[in-house]
Structure formats: C-alpha cells, structure tokens
C-alpha cells in the first residue's frame, strides 16, 4: 500500500523505494540488511525464528496496528533477544483508537514516528550506532 496510501501521512515512496535507500545507507554504514514485510503476524514471527534472523545484530520493525495488540509478536521479539527499534511513518500518538497501549514499549531500544520514510533511515542509523556501542 505504500506509495498509494494517504501521502500526507505516509509519503509517496513504495516499500521497494525505501528498501533501496536503506540498502544505500547500509553500504555507507558498512552493515548488511535483510528485508522482510508481511501483513500477517504469524509470518513475521516465523521470520524471527529463522536462523538468519537469529544471526542478525538487531531489528527495525514497523508493527503497524500490531503495536496495540500483537502480544505474540512481542514474545517473538523477546525470544529473539536482539535490540529492536520500532518505526512508524505516521505519528501513532495522534492517530488510532488505542493510543495508550504499546506492547513494545518496554522491550524496544527506541521508537521513531511521524517522519514518513525518514523514520526507517533514522532507525537504521540509530540501530547501527547502538550495536557498535554495545
């Protein structure tokens, strides 16, 4: 839906566009990325349980509405045991019906919201800095 969904909140880039820019930033930061996108909580959990995910140094995740009720997703991130940064292209503090619950609040290292595609780019820089400092 990215690139077609409300551009005032989400910008005009597609996920492929964002991933391409993320890869460019990763080269500059001398790190490797593996991309995965799904609208299904179970598929995301299955991805976290792969060996390639277990070998990763960290996670950048846009949980969308799962941030309000995705307790299985939360447990998968806990089990993965990697630093995670939560991103949202829109400002989730101003939208949605349940603004007070965030199931990742106590397990993520940071949250970046409301910067459209820049949310991802900032998350990558912060995650790399965090991993290298710890």
Residues with a known catalytic role = 10, 88
16 HSE (CA, 13 A, CB side): 3
Contact at 8 Å (CB) between 111 and 83?
no
Distance (Å, rounded) from C-alpha 88 to C-alpha 115?
Answer: 8
d(CA 21, CA 27): 10
- Closest among 89, 52, 88 to 67, alpha carbons compared: 88
């Amino acid at each position: 839906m990215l690139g077609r969904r409300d551009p005032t909140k989400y910008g005009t880039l597609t996920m492929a566009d964002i991933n391409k820019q993320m890869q460019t930033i990763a080269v500059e930061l001398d790190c490797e990325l593996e991309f995965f996108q799904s609208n299904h909580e179970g598929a995301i959990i299955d991805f976290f349980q792969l060996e390639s995910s277990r070998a990763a140094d960290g996670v950048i995740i846009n949980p969308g509405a799962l941030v309000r009720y995705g307790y299985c997703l939360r447990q998968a991130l806990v089990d993965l045991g990697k630093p995670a940064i939560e991103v949202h292209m829109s400002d989730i503090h101003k939208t949605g019906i349940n603004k007070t619950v965030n199931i990742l609040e106590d397990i993520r290292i940071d949250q970046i919201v409301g910067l459209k595609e820049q949310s991802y780019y900032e998350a990558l820089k912060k995650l790399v800095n965090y991993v290298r400092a710890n």
